[in-house]
Amino acid sequence: MERELILTGIGGQGVQLAAQVLARAATREGRAVMLFGVYSGMMRGGNSDSTLVVAQEAVDAPPLISSSWSAIVMHHQFWPPLSGRLRTGGVALINSSLFDGEVDRTRYRVFEVPATDLAASLGLPMAASMVMVGAYTGVTGLVDIESVVEGMRESLPPYRRQHAAGNERAIRAGFHATEEAGTRLVAPAWEAVPA
């Protein structure tokens, strides 16, 4: 079984880091992973998309997938071209702090996460993508929250290690927000294994 995730946002929102964190978390758990990032030539303000495929066995998907099980949408600006790739019934986490676009709530399972506002309330305005990673983990259970925290630590380059503690707070805040919203594991990525 494979689970696909497309992430989209504006350059500078941490889309590529979020994808790396989830990929490393899945790898830590022994899953097969394929990660492919696409971003424009500008540092901030251009589109930033990433595709992640996580599988229980070898990944069969090509680097650019035509359909996806789930999506993390940090901003509405670059969502329209990708929205058609989310399968009917797919899981979409929307950064409700910034999203000002259309999303088909009858076609997709939509979960609003005020990631930017939550990050700002923590005093971590640049950590909205980490809030979203925590929320995605809570809603889907794609990976374990502790694997996500370790994946984040492994993903930070040496010159960004000072952000590890704040990123962990943001990840855990997003994860705990799903419990408060009653959305914990409402869209599980993996079937439960009978005891």
Q: Tell me: the pLDDT tens digits for 52-83?
A: 999 999 997 676 789 999 999 999 998 999 99
- Give the H or E element holding residue 3: strand 2-10
Contact call for residues 65 and 51 (beta carbons, < 8 A): yes
Residues 116 and 122: their CA atoms lie apart, in Å, by 10
Q: Is a pLDDT exceeding 50 seen at residue 195?
A: no
Distance spanning both ends of the chain, measured CA to CA: 20
Reading across the β-sheet that carries 68-73, which strands appear in turn? 32-39, 47-55, 2-10, 68-73, 86-95, 109-113
Q: Tell me: the pLDDT tens digits for 5-53?
A: 999 999 889 999 999 999 999 999 999 999 998 876 555 678 899 999 9
Which DSSP state fits 129?
H
pTM value is: 0.94
Q: Which of the two residues, 192 and 195, has the higher pLDDT score?
A: 192
Residues 1 and 142: their CA atoms lie apart, in Å, by 12
Contact call for residues 97 and 128 (beta carbons, < 8 A): yes
Q: Tell me: the pLDDT tens digits for 169-185?
A: 999 999 999 999 999 99
Sorted by where each starts, the structural domains of the chain and their CATH numbers stand as 2-181 (3.40.920.10)
